[in-house]
Structure 1
Amino acid sequence: MSQTAIATVGIIPSTTHANDTKAGSFDEKGSVLDFEKATGSIEDEDDDGIVNIKGGQNFSHSNGDDDDPAYAALPRIVRELCDFEDDPTIPVLTWRFFVLSGAFTALGAWLTQMGFFRTTYIPYSIYFVQITSLYVGKFMAATLPSKKIGFGKYSFDLNPGPFTIKEHVIIVLAANTVATNNLGDYVLAPLAVFYQKPMNGWLAILFMWSAVFVEFSLATLAKTFLIDNPDTGKLQMRVFWYGILIFFLWEFLPEYIFPFTSSLAFLCWVTDDPTAKFLGSGLGGAGLLNITLDWSNIGSSLVYYPYWSQVNVFATFVLGAWILVPIGALGGAWQNDLYPMQTQDLYMTNGSEYPTVELMNADFTLNEALFAEIGAPKMSTQLRWGYFFSYTAYLSAFVSLCLFQGPMLWKTLKSVCSGNRAYNDKLTQLMEPYPKVPIWWNIALFIIPSAVLIALGAAGKLYLPLYTVFIALGFGALIVVPMLYIYAVSGYQVPGYFNEWFYGGSRHPVGSRSYRTISGQCWYEACSMLNDMKLGHYVCLKFTITSSETDPSLFKFHVPPRATIFAQVWGILVGVPVNYATILWIVNTKGNYLDGSAIDPNNQWTGQGVISLNNQGIAFGLKLFADPMYNILPYGFILGAGLPIAFYLLHRKWPRARFDLWNVPIFATTMENFYGFLSNFVLAWFILGSINHLYIKKYKYKFWKKYAYIAGAAADTGFNLNMLLLFIAFSAVKVTPAPHWWGNNPDSVERCFPASS
């Protein structure tokens, strides 16, 4: 029997080499070579863009011939993980694929869609799918009889033979397709929670299918730019399974029995001073020096996020949550005497709640008379600067892309236009024997769902004018490549609020959510789609074969492009109905938390995402920014255009200072985050990330490469399984809250009580 693990390489150009862009950095060509000339002692550069000097770290052997351009064009991590062999004759889309992928896809769709309504959540662990599907697939191959089912060409073999690695990979591809929540919830959740007008079930599913398939077709558009360019054994499996067990058991404490462990507010324990309590609270405060022991607040991203990216996030978090939030909330700056610093609600000029319901007519258009009387709503400071920095992030993404990656993209574009391949790495060569995906597949995947969206818009089901559907589709196609590239090199997704400036004018608030789903947000899921395509193209394996009877041909691993597309389409078809069913269940069982009529003591089911979406819909849909306090917001675009230029010029002047790693999109995106309910996670995340990158990865590289991803995946999986059991045991049939005690205080689970009199 063999034990396998799949290591996926992120969406990085396969053209990366020693002096080009590494995974997770904006390296300008030549900058590393300049450093090498200056020091004379460079040994290698890791995938974080950090140079490792001789004596600091030992590297594993890289596969392939260094003198062969087809191998040399690949990043070091790819050559370490991949064996460059393939057998195009191995079966892929077997009956086992449909059964196993269907089951894992449905589970993932439920877990990830549920996470949309929580304040924090752990993404569906694809490593859990990889490991579990391997064992189940081998069990099916060993026990099921070889028997034909069906008639003629519509028949299949119940047991087509040994469970192959290509079946394994394609199952993971399908499940990973729905490992993010369906963005149709941007429309469906506010309709159900705030307007009590849930969309018809079949129409809702059609809308979600169509939105995803449009995103999918746009991902295939970006594929040319971001993909076509260029020892696992029993001990690791024990680490994985023991890790799952440990985190599965541990999560009962912060999630149910002992929520005190989810937010250790040290400042609250040493003083009754109200200022210190606000600063120290991670559930409604600034979270200063607060540590969480809840893995749902941390997650395995600390393992694979580039360290330069983590530094950007933490530095920005310190500025925003630990400095600016206290200045506003405690110092009374920015009109916080009237409008609380950390809230997503809307207010009148006198500080009372804004009458959003009364402001809308029966047809959800703007009540002009009342609006003239009460004026535009007032937003909290943090909500305002969230919009400001979202605009900064948006434009800075384009500017950074042009400055730091423009030459590479231009080279790729010229190769596409000329019909010649700009790069010819070894992995791309291995895909040559497979039939290409016909262009009409991509066209159909765009035209058919677009027609459904147009029909839904014409029927008034999306609450927006028909012409805006066409604008949304066009704008989504325009921005997909630059936004995906930012995600490719940093792991960060830039917000798309800019698109909503094209929408407005006394319309139903949910209409702006529909517009956002189709245009500005569609590329979010395109990121996931492209990751899956990368998995089929770049999937890499290392084997420890422990049985001489194992057929080595079973471990040729590349997936045919057509099978990759099919698996993703299949995953979408299976996952979307589960997404919708999950939305209905959450609204029916947690609706009182989501609409603000009740408070979740753990600050997890806060509904802040749905509340934020609804308020944004009101603001954009009814054009409620007509107030001088919002005049500064458009200047975010100017900042987004200027800062990358400044850092680019500084990088050209002093390349060794690495100003290319001072990432404006990440800075602005982190500043845009809302910390009003939960600010206890970043410090723990950064501490563990620093230990991971600066010690374990740097000085124990072989150990890190062998266990880091496995351990992170086990922790994520343990949390997901714990959430599943908590749902079944305490929520599915009857809601059973945990008993109150010292570690689960009804007034403050983190025991950050109001100051005593």
Structure 2
Amino acid sequence: MYSEEKGYLQSETVLDTTTSITDDEKKSVNVSTEHDAETIIDRIRAAGDMDDILSSGYADFFVDKLRTMSVEEAIEVLTYALAYHSHDINFPSTTHDRITLLLEGEIAYDQGPALYNLDLRLEAALMKYHSPYPEVRSVCTPVDDPTMPVETFRAYAIGIFWVCVAGFINQLIYFRQPHFSLSSQVIQILVLPCGQFAARFLPNWTFRVGKYSFALNPGPWNFKEQMFATIITNVGAANAVWGQYFPVLRESIFYGATWSNYGFNLLFNIICQFFGLGLSGILRRWVVYPSKAVWPTILPTLQLNRTLLVSEKKMNISGWTISKYKLFNILFGASFVYFFIPDYLFTGLSIFAWIAWAAPNNKNVAYVTGSSIGLGFNPLPTFDWSVINYSTPLVRPFFSYINQYIGALLGGIILLIMYYSNLKYSAYMPPNTSTVHDRYGDSYNLTRVLDSDGVLIQSAYEAYSPPYISAGYYMYLCSTFTAYTFAFVYIFISEWRTFKEAAIGLYENVKYRKSSNYDQYRDALSVMMKEYQEVPDWWFLFFLAFSIIIACITLKAYPTNTPVWCAWAIFLVAVAILIPVMVLYATTGYFLSTNNLGTILGGYMVPGSGIACLLIRALGYCVEDQAESYVSDQKLAHYAKLPPRAVFRGQLLATIFQVFITSGAMELAHGIVDFCSYTQPSRFYCAWSHSIYTGTLLFGAVGPKRTFDNLYPLIKWCFLIGALAAIPIYFLRFKFPRYLRYFHPVVFIGGISVFGTGYNLSYYTVGAYLSILFMWYLRTRKLAWWSKYTYIISASLSAGIAFSGILIFLALQYRPKTLSWWGNNITSAGIDGENTEALKDIPAVGYFGLADGTWH
């Protein structure tokens, strides 16, 4: 055993080396080496973070590599790995400590020369030939078959079909509250029988076009084709981000711009989609190639893919012998059936605000514990997986989730202090709402202050009211604006090596066009990917240029009141901020949305125009969101070892189909009676569009100058506070890594910002319990079990509620069949359910806030 005096952090797994070695484990190490199988298994167990290797089916592969590795090579590999992962928060601390101890030499290692030699080469073999991250090892293999068919006719046909279906359904249902979607997990399940049907019934014909040929049916449907088709359909499953914005521009309850027809929607859709595709090619150097870019959010998709199509060896892992495929089917069925209860039969189980129900007319109880008007301080707020999984607790790393949750707890306390002290007149509004109010306590009536072109009428504004926001939304804005500049500075400093390597790689690729991007990376995945041709940078740059040109033409051809130079400016800002945001997302699973930044910039660029602010915000956010979608799928392809050029062609073709399909779905949605109204009978409320409208009203129509100077001046200082705070906090973490290793300040600040947009602690508390259980306890105590089952549990539960939600919507909710009883009515009863009660009544003078003549 390793000595505790040496500083090695032991866990129960490490200490449990006396357990008898099973026959399955002996079979997993079946090659002849200078050490017997039992010794090797004992050393793997002793490591504490390699248990998954024994159940992976590739233990003999590593032992074979171990046998051919010299001590000198092992030392070189581990020296590089320790330097590369020195500030990598996802790199297991036990692995870091063990490598440090091994590199101190045989004398410092108290296990003797033989075991030192074995452990040194075993650790180096893992670093060189696989991933150091257990979560990546659980979904990837250390070997590849480049001859396996990928870009086949049947994969394209099935993928494009589901792009059209998923794109149309997801775009249309997106406007409904609550909405469901054909997620990546759902689409994989639908793609599988299609692929197997094609493999069975398509004729085995071969077609030739010039020097190229392709087989109509190249054999059994394989997991690479499955993943390729899934990546294609993900373009449709992600729906069009512009769809969030088009109702705000077009519908009469918002800006009512009648000129925003199908052609305008199609052009803006093209701009957003293709700019995102082009930008993903630049981002790949930061978030695809580096092994530190783990992308925890995409790992369940890959695990599900392998579960559906790759057979596994039956082994006893912590008493479990059930296969991943069987477990998936059981949990999928259970989730499918159970979701009928919280989604239709007893909706109170979904938003289980039981403390507020006990005192329905008590304001203070509703504010603190409520799930609608309140902050959600409730130890058991939901029994609904769709609510629990909002924060993806079985996907995100434990440190990331807990940082955000602790930040949310602190944010809730601060918000209560703000509200009860009536900061900025917030006590005259509900505490946790995104609705903008006027000085009379009503929702702000924008039509009273805008002309027909959506431009502010100064005299009308002076005669009516300034806009006021809730304490929750005020804190949301302050924390997110702090996070923008903090993240930019902090991530750039902490990941400067990654930025430097990516910049050098981009320069060398332009200078030496035949060089490989993978040459500068030494991890096993990049080495294997050298077998495939890369996508030239100019392919991506073409679509960047194409999108900018279309944006300029569109803004000029329609009465948008938005200068062309605004498109160039917001694109440049979006690209600058997107790189650190994507690095953050790829390592922590936390996505820092920058959509509000575009709102402020739009307000400064075109003061007084809500429509111009809306379009500038849309350009900035669409670029960000679409780029994230494309580049995450490229990382998925990297893990699955798909040819990059095939993936590019698949994404491009899918995008062409998607822009037309989703634009048509938007047009159909526009024709729905009372579309986006909160009285719409089928609940097509367009909830996020209302929030966007609020932001563009506050910072666009009224303008950031009036907002910052007269109403909420602290907001503008948050940008400076964030930038200045990043430097000392980075050096504190660098100075005290032992105590602050797992503190991530950007994610912590992000936790403070969970309020004010319709969400609260109710969506995070149960997830925190599951994160502690799965992502900490089981991952550190039962790694082999965790590696095999965790992502399958998450994927199966999510797929079950998605299919169940589709059935419930089509059968019971599209044409509403109301089930009225206490369990369904309680969620809308009382102060918490009504979501309109304020702490203070309007003063006797008839209004609250600034005195007349002081807000102009």
TM-score above 0.5: yes
CA distances 1:92-140 after superposition (whole Å, capped 9, x unpaired):
2222112221233334434544574456666644233334433431232
**CA-atom RMSD in angstroms:** 3.8
- Paired with 2:121 and 2:216, the residues of 1 have a C-alpha distance of 38
1:661 counterpart SS class:
coil
- Contact kept? 1:745, 1:751, Cα under 8 Å: no
Shift of 1:267: 1.6
1:162 aligns with 2:220: yes
In structure 1, what is the equivalent of residue 744 of structure 2?
663
Structure 2 residue aligned with 1:318, among 409, 419, 426? 409
1:433 counterpart SS class:
coil
- Paired with 2:581 and 2:818, the residues of 1 have a C-alpha distance of 43
CA distances 1:313-363 after superposition (whole Å, capped 9, x unpaired):
211221223x23433445544413433323323333344443311211122
1:738 counterpart SS class:
coil
- Paired with 2:181 and 2:494, the residues of 1 have a C-alpha distance of 31
- Contact kept? 1:359, 1:366, Cα under 8 Å: yes
In structure 1, what is the equivalent of residue 285 of structure 2?
224
In structure 2, what is the equivalent of residue 718 of structure 1?
800
Q: Unaligned regions of 5+ residues in structure 2, if any? A: 1-55, 57-78, 105-118, 292-309, 313-321, 510-514, 838-856
- Please list, as runs of the form range in 1=range in 2, the aligned pairs for 1:338-377 lying within 5 A after superposition: 338-374=428-464, 376-377=466-467
- Paired with 1:698 and 1:69, the residues of 2 have a C-alpha distance of 19
- Paired with 1:265 and 1:76, the residues of 2 have a C-alpha distance of 37
1:411 counterpart SS class:
helix
1:140 aligns with 2:198: yes
1:512 aligns with 2:613: yes
1:201 aligns with 2:262: yes
Seen in structure 2, the aligned counterparts of structure 1 residues 369 and 281 have a Cα distance that, compared at 3 Å, is: same
1:205 counterpart SS class:
helix
Q: Which amino acid aligns with 2:818?
A: A
Seen in structure 2, the aligned counterparts of structure 1 residues 26 and 708 have a Cα distance that, compared at 3 Å, is: closer
In structure 2, what is the equivalent of residue 616 of structure 1?
695
Which segment is superposed worse, 604-613 or 462-471? 604-613
- Paired with 1:65 and 1:27, the residues of 2 have a C-alpha distance of 14
In structure 2, what is the equivalent of residue 171 of structure 1?
229
In structure 1, what is the equivalent of residue 372 of structure 2?
283
Which segment is superposed worse, 101-110 or 75-84? 75-84
- Paired with 1:753 and 1:348, the residues of 2 have a C-alpha distance of 22
In structure 1, what is the equivalent of residue 29 of structure 2?
none
Shift of 1:723: 2.1
Structure 2 residue aligned with 1:98, among 136, 141, 156? 156
- Paired with 2:93 and 2:767, the residues of 1 have a C-alpha distance of 31
1:473 aligns with 2:571: yes
- Contact kept? 1:27, 1:404, Cα under 8 Å: no
CA distances 1:510-545 after superposition (whole Å, capped 9, x unpaired):
322221222245122212211111122222xxxxxx
- Contact kept? 2:289, 2:526, Cα under 8 Å: yes
Shift of 1:403: 2.2
- Please list, as runs of the form range in 1=range in 2, the aligned pairs for 1:575-594 lying within 5 A after superposition: 575-584=658-667, 586=669, 588-589=671-672, 591=674, 594=676
1:445 aligns with 2:546: no
1:436 counterpart SS class:
coil
- Contact kept? 2:372, 2:833, Cα under 8 Å: no
Q: Which amino acid aligns with 1:308?
A: F
Seen in structure 2, the aligned counterparts of structure 1 residues 157 and 591 have a Cα distance that, compared at 3 Å, is: farther
Shift of 1:690: 1.4
2:245 counterpart SS class:
helix
1:740 aligns with 2:841: no
- Paired with 1:687 and 1:636, the residues of 2 have a C-alpha distance of 32
- Contact kept? 2:286, 2:498, Cα under 8 Å: no
CA distances 1:685-711 after superposition (whole Å, capped 9, x unpaired):
111221112322222222221111111
Shift of 1:311: 0.8
Seen in structure 2, the aligned counterparts of structure 1 residues 251 and 636 have a Cα distance that, compared at 3 Å, is: same
- Please list, as runs of the form range in 1=range in 2, the aligned pairs for 1:374-389 lying within 5 A after superposition: 374=464, 376-389=466-479
Structure 1's consecutive aligned runs of 4 or more residues displaced over 6 angstroms after TM superposition are 26-31, 61-65, 148-156, 749-755
- Contact kept? 2:130, 2:525, Cα under 8 Å: no
Seen in structure 2, the aligned counterparts of structure 1 residues 89 and 173 have a Cα distance that, compared at 3 Å, is: same
Seen in structure 2, the aligned counterparts of structure 1 residues 22 and 340 have a Cα distance that, compared at 3 Å, is: farther
- Paired with 1:716 and 1:28, the residues of 2 have a C-alpha distance of 28
Seen in structure 2, the aligned counterparts of structure 1 residues 352 and 236 have a Cα distance that, compared at 3 Å, is: closer
- Contact kept? 2:521, 2:527, Cα under 8 Å: no
1:163 counterpart SS class:
coil
CA distances 1:203-252 after superposition (whole Å, capped 9, x unpaired):
31232122111011111001123223348548211211222221111111
In structure 2, what is the equivalent of residue 728 of structure 1?
810
Larger Rg, first or second structure (1 or 2): 2
1:435 aligns with 2:533: yes
- Contact kept? 1:31, 1:656, Cα under 8 Å: no
| TM-score, normalising length: structure 2 | 0.74
- Contact kept? 1:487, 1:527, Cα under 8 Å: no
- Paired with 1:353 and 1:742, the residues of 2 have a C-alpha distance of 30
Structure 2 residue aligned with 1:403, among 493, 500, 515? 493
| Alignment: residue pair count | 697
Seen in structure 2, the aligned counterparts of structure 1 residues 588 and 668 have a Cα distance that, compared at 3 Å, is: farther
- Paired with 1:79 and 1:517, the residues of 2 have a C-alpha distance of 38
- Paired with 1:70 and 1:204, the residues of 2 have a C-alpha distance of 49
User: Which one has more relative contact order, counting CA pairs under 8 Å at least 6 apart?
Assistant: 1
- Paired with 1:352 and 1:219, the residues of 2 have a C-alpha distance of 43
In structure 1, what is the equivalent of residue 484 of structure 2?
394
Seen in structure 2, the aligned counterparts of structure 1 residues 722 and 751 have a Cα distance that, compared at 3 Å, is: farther
Structure 2 residue aligned with 1:643, among 718, 725, 737? 725
Seen in structure 2, the aligned counterparts of structure 1 residues 277 and 165 have a Cα distance that, compared at 3 Å, is: closer
Q: Unaligned regions of 5+ residues in structure 1, if any? A: 6-14, 41-60, 540-557
- Contact kept? 1:17, 1:75, Cα under 8 Å: no
- Contact kept? 1:697, 1:704, Cα under 8 Å: yes
- Contact kept? 2:367, 2:431, Cα under 8 Å: no
